[in-house]
């Protein structure tokens, strides 16, 4: 009877009140986008209608309000009202004793009494679920307050699902587990709900202040489930746990301090919970207390939570490790080099750079002193996928490290920018300025060589110096040239010459901006590295610059709403993929405002620049430029990184790949998938999406151990094959190492030698009818697609007719890479007209 009465009450409340019904629709859409609150132990459409009716009955909502105002008032009531702590009653004049009120509150986490009886309509809402609901309401209000009408998409169309919301995900396979039903069936709550609570309480106790919230969901029927199939499908679903970390510093700390040794009762309780992991320790302040220690290397600290969870669940729930799947390190294999994460060398690299900086600043025998030294390379800001390891031959004269059988014959230089003190004696001629810069670089190199015995390799544009196992490429920024370009005074010839200075300026500003993200957001570096690895693995190295990827990931951290800032690499990586796939690139600029320091005039300038970039393409959005408009405080017109790439075609392909990878990653997180091969699919690119594929000899790549998977083409036909060249090896030969002539080995060390980059440059110059797709991080395959737009512009002479024959083109591609190309495969025959 109560259900019918409540339905009739709702019908009367909503009858003739259009705005209230529209507000309910907004709330339902909002809730359905948040899978952690629109579940069995939290919200549903009926409860949302009840809450709205309560607010209308108590005149918190009136008929002068618009639907969005009602939506905001309802969220504020859910998230911030203190009435929840006292219990809610529909009748204003209801008479209830204080004892009965306290009894209701103690019996239920949330109490909302209906209008016709003493029935609690929210009896299914659990304490943890209500906390999640309040948090989501508060975050949504923050989003509305910060972005106003611009928050519509974030609130109502962004999917804040389980996989993207939480930092740490756990799946427990409980199929056939007798422990679940040990409490029996004749209870107020189902036995599986009691098991949910048990898991929640154990993890909350074990993780403590490392987490902000723990959410446990099991046997939740989806909106699309069919009862005709029975409830057996629920038994096959794993129990899912989502954990939001408090801060990375707390989440990844090594030592947890327990009770003092004198508190015997607390010590017994602590040891009973932790078992063999509990140990008595004396701390630096003299305190003697129980503790748990999770010793690990710096580059594996993100696994501490995994170890704690595994220990607690195995100890208290008698689960085997095989039935516990934690989504933490499944993609770490893509960042390892020889079983170790090369980011572990970062402190050593940073120390070496600081030595170089001191030496550069102390140089006296140069006409102008060096006033500023800035690292520009991603390796020096922890965003390089493979920061270089110290090379035993890249040292000062007379010194060398220990040589191994796999001593690399190549070394990557790290870009460093230097600025000289001001002077009015610089030449005004553009070519003369460049020559003067070259002379300064040569003099700097000579000084480093003579004063500290450092090896220096010089070219007309740069100097590379070797120090303590690393190579640094020095470049000079001439601010006067940059000022000429920005002012528009310089002629076209000067702009071409000074373009290098403008690029250096952009790199300098970008490096400073990204460096400021590393301390407040420790997860930023690992997420960027995963994103760059994904981009390269799917052969998009020519489409997205490293800086572009860094800005896209930065956007996720500085504009995290409607989420919280990601604290784990896999969650951050999933959000990166969804950002690529779902952002409205054609009609919206992406503004990366690091510190909210863009003024209204800056934002207007960005908007005007964006509209100008789209003005000429009103009828055809297929060829807009830039296709991806990224604006920052130093680049309000998106000139720096995306002016030429990705173009519209490349962006369309990127979006398709990102959407596919995001869907796969979501399934891997939430569904019972533990096969490592499925995770590898995220970084394996399908070759059937290319017209032709060039396979390279993996042992001729400069860093073969960067290769993720050897490429294999099973479709199409082979049109060319080639043997590997003997003139190059990525490692020093045993004969070279046997001689142990250190100076000769140093002379053979190749700085910045990359045969893939050189080969791609040659192909771009010689074959304009093909579009190249490649992996700059160490891939052994190049994808080719036929560039039909380029072929239409050619004159139809005999040579072009020959080039239009795909077999002839591909044979030429193979011949251009003789000694480096393993095979060339024609996958699809083009339709060239």
Cα separation, 182 vs 511, whole angstroms: 58
Q: What pLDDT is recorded for position 214?
A: 94
3-state secondary structure of 227: helix
Round the CA-based radius of gyration of the chain to a whole number and report it.
32
773 vs 794, more confident:
773
Quickly state the pLDDT bin for 59 (edges 50, 70, 90): confident
Q: Inform me whether the pLDDT recorded for 234 exceeds 70.
A: no
| Helix spans in 318-467 (H) | 346-361, 430-452
Q: Inform me whether the pLDDT recorded for 638 exceeds 50.
A: yes
Q: Inform me whether the pLDDT recorded for 787 exceeds 90.
A: no
pLDDT 10s digits, 672-699 = 666 778 899 999 999 999 999 999 999 9
**Nearest in space to 823 (alpha carbons), one of 686, 665, 716:** 716
The C-alpha angle 797, 798, 802, rounded to 5 degrees, equals 120
104 vs 133, more confident:
133
The whole-chain average pLDDT of the chain stands at: 87
- Is the torsion defined by CA of 13, 17, 21, 24 positive or negative? negative
How many helices (DSSP H) and strands (DSSP E) are in the chain?
A: 29, 23
Q: Inform me whether the pLDDT recorded for 23 exceeds 60.
A: yes
Q: Inform me whether the pLDDT recorded for 179 exceeds 80.
A: no
Q: What pLDDT is recorded for position 117?
A: 65
Q: Inform me whether the pLDDT recorded for 727 exceeds 80.
A: yes
Quickly state the pLDDT bin for 221 (edges 50, 70, 90): low
One DSSP character per residue, 335-346 reads: G-BTTB-GGGGH
Cα separation, 623 vs 614, whole angstroms: 10
Bridge pairing between strands 324-327 and 413-420 = unpaired
Q: Inform me whether the pLDDT recorded for 266 exceeds 60.
A: yes
Mean pLDDT of 297-304: 93
CA atoms within 13 Å, Cβ hemisphere of 343? 22
What does the block give as tokens for 389?
A: 């390891």
Q: What pLDDT is recorded for position 486?
A: 54
Q: What pLDDT is recorded for position 794?
A: 43
Cα separation, 447 vs 363, whole angstroms: 7
Quickly state the pLDDT bin for 233 (edges 50, 70, 90): low
What does the block give as tokens for 224?
A: 């699309």
Looking at the chain, the whole-number percentage of residues with pLDDT higher than 70 is 88
3-state secondary structure of 784: strand
191 vs 372, more confident:
372
Cα separation, 312 vs 306, whole angstroms: 10
Mean pLDDT of 349-371: 93
Cα separation, 806 vs 786, whole angstroms: 9
Quickly state the pLDDT bin for 501 (edges 50, 70, 90): confident
Mean pLDDT of 727-755: 83
**Nearest in space to 428 (alpha carbons), one of 481, 479, 475:** 481
CA atoms within 13 Å, Cβ hemisphere of 230? 4
Q: What is the 3-state secondary structure (H, E, C) of 182-204?
A: CCCCCCCCCHHHHHHHHHHHHHH
Q: What pLDDT is recorded for position 562?
A: 92
Is-contact 723 751, C-beta < 8 A?
A: no
| Helix spans in 640-784 (H) | 648-670, 676-680, 734-739, 742-748, 755-766
Q: Inform me whether the pLDDT recorded for 789 exceeds 60.
A: no
Mean pLDDT of 603-613: 93
pLDDT 10s digits, 749-783 = 999 999 999 999 999 999 988 999 999 998 999 99
pLDDT 10s digits, 510-546 = 999 999 999 999 999 999 999 999 999 999 999 999 9
> Model pTM greater than 0.85?
yes
Q: What pLDDT is recorded for position 434?
A: 82
Mean pLDDT of 26-43: 90
CA 436 to chain centre: 42
Burial class of 129 by CB neighbour count within 10 A (0 to 12, 13 to 18, 19+): buried
Contacts of residue 666, Cβ cutoff 8 Å, sequence gap at least 6: 161, 163, 164, 574
Q: What pLDDT is recorded for position 489?
A: 46
Q: Inform me whether the pLDDT recorded for 140 exceeds 70.
A: yes
Mean pLDDT of 466-474: 94
Mean pLDDT of 606-620: 81
- Is the torsion defined by CA of 805, 806, 807, 810 positive or negative? positive
Q: What pLDDT is recorded for position 459?
A: 79
State the DSSP code for 685: P
Q: Inform me whether the pLDDT recorded for 473 exceeds 70.
A: yes
Least confident of 178-187, 232-241, 255-264, 466-475: 178-187
Q: What pLDDT is recorded for position 35?
A: 85
Is-contact 627 650, C-beta < 8 A?
A: yes
Where b means 16+ CB within 10 Å and e means fewer, 600-611 reads eeeeeebeebbe
Cα separation, 36 vs 134, whole angstroms: 12
Quickly state the pLDDT bin for 12 (edges 50, 70, 90): confident
Q: What pLDDT is recorded for position 94?
A: 59
Mean pLDDT of 268-291: 92
Q: Inform me whether the pLDDT recorded for 721 exceeds 50.
A: yes
Q: What pLDDT is recorded for position 494?
A: 44
Element (H, E) at 213: strand 211-217
Q: What pLDDT is recorded for position 532?
A: 97
Quickly state the pLDDT bin for 40 (edges 50, 70, 90): confident
Is-contact 594 517, C-beta < 8 A?
A: yes
Element (H, E) at 419: strand 413-420
Quickly state the pLDDT bin for 244 (edges 50, 70, 90): very high
């Amino acid at each position: 009877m109560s259900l019918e009465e409540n339905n009739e009450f709702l019908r009367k409340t909503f009858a003739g009140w259009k705005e209230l019904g529209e507000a309910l629709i907004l709330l339902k859409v909002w809730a359905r986008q948040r899978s952690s609150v629109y579940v069995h132990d939290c919200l549903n459409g009926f409860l949302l209608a009840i809450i709205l009716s309560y607010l209308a009955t108590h005149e918190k909502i009136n008929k002068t309000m618009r639907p969005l105002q009602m939506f905001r008032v309802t969220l504020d009531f859910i998230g911030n009202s203190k009435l929840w702590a006292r219990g809610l009653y529909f009748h204003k004049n209801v008479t209830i004793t204080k004892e009965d009120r306290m009894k209701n509150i103690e019996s239920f986490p949330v109490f909302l009494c209906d209008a016709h009886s003493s029935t609690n309509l929210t009896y299914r809402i659990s304490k943890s679920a209500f906390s999640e609901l309040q948090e989501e309401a508060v975050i949504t209000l923050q989003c509305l307050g910060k972005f106003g009408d611009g928050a519509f998409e974030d609130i109502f169309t962004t999917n804040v699902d389980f996989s993207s919301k939480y930092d740490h995900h756990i799946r427990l396979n409980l199929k056939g587990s007798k422990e679940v039903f040990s409490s029996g069936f004749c209870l107020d709550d189902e036995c599986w709900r009691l098991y949910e609570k048990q898991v929640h309480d154990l993890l909350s106790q074990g993780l403590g202040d490392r987490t902000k919230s723990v959410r446990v969901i099991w046997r939740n029927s989806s909106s699309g489930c069919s009862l005709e199939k029975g409830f057996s499908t629920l038994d096959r679903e794993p129990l899912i746990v989502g954990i939001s970390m408090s801060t990375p510093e707390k989440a990844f700390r090594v030592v947890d301090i327990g009770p003092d040794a004198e508190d015997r009762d607390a010590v017994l309780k602590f040891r009973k919970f932790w078992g063999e992991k509990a140990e008595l320790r004396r701390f630096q302040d003299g305190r003697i207390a129980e503790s748990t220690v999770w010793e690990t290397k710096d580059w594996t600290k993100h696994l501490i939570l995994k170890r704690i969870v595994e220990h607690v669940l195995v100890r208290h729930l008698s689960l085997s490790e095989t039935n516990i799947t934690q989504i933490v390190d499944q993609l770490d294999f893509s960042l390892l080099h020889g079983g170790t994460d090369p980011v572990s060398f970062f402190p050593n690299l940073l120390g070496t750079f600081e030595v170089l900086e001191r030496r550069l600043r102390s140089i006296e025998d140069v006409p102008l002193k060096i006033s500023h030294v800035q690292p520009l390379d991603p390796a020096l800001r922890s965003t390089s996928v493979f920061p270089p390891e110290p090379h035993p031959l890249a040292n000062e004269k007379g010194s060398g490290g220990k040589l191994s059988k796999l001593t690399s014959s190549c070394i990557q230089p790290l870009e460093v920018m230097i600025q000289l003190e001001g002077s009015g004696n610089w030449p005004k001629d553009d070519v003369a300025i460049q020559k003067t810069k070259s002379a300064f670089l040569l003099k700097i190199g000579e000084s480093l060589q003579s004063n500290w015995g450092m090896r220096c390799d010089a070219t007309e544009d740069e100097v590379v110096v070797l120090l303590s196992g690393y190579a640094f490429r020095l470049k000079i920024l001439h601010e006067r040239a940059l000022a000429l370009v920005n002012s528009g005074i310089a002629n076209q010839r000067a702009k071409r010459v000074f373009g290098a200075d403008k690029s250096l300026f952009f790199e300098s500003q970008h490096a400073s901006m990204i460096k400021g993200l590393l301390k407040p957001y420790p997860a930023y570096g690992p997420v960027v590295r995963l994103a760059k690895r994904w981009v390269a693995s799917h052969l998009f190295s020519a489409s997205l610059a490293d800086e572009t990827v860094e800005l896209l990931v930065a956007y996720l951290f500085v504009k995290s709403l409607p989420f919280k800032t990601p604290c784990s690499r896999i969650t951050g990586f999933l959000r990166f993929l969804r950002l690529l796939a779902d952002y409205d690139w054609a009609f919206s600029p992406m503004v990366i405002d690091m510190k909210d320091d863009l003024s209204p005039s800056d934002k207007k300038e960005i908007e005007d620049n964006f509209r100008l970039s789209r003005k000429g393409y009103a009828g055809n959005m297929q060829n807009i430029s830039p296709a991806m408009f990224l604006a920052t405080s130093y680049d309000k017109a998106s000139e720096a990184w995306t002016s030429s790439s990705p173009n519209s075609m490349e962006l369309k392909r990127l979006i398709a790949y990102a959407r596919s990878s995001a869907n796969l990653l979501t399934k891997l997180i939430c569904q019972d998938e533990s096969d490592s091969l499925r995770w590898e699919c995220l970084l394996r690119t399908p070759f059937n999406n290319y017209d032709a594929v060039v396979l390279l000899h993996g042992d001729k790549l400069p860093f073969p151990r960067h290769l993720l998977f050897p490429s294999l083409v099973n479709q199409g036909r082979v049109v060319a094959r080639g043997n590997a060249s003997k003139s190059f090896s990525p490692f020093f030969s045993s004969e070279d190492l046997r001689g142990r002539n250190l100076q000769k080995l140093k002379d053979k060390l190749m700085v910045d030698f990359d045969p893939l980059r050189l080969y791609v440059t040659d192909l771009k110059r010689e074959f304009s009818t093909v579009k190249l797709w490649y992996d700059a991080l160490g891939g052994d395959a190049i994808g080719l697609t036929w560039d039909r737009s380029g072929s239409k512009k050619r004159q139809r002479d005999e040579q072009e007719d020959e080039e239009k024959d795909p077999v002839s083109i591909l044979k030429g591609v193979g011949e251009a890479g003789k000694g480096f190309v393993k095979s060339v495969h024609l996958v699809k025959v083009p339709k060239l007209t």
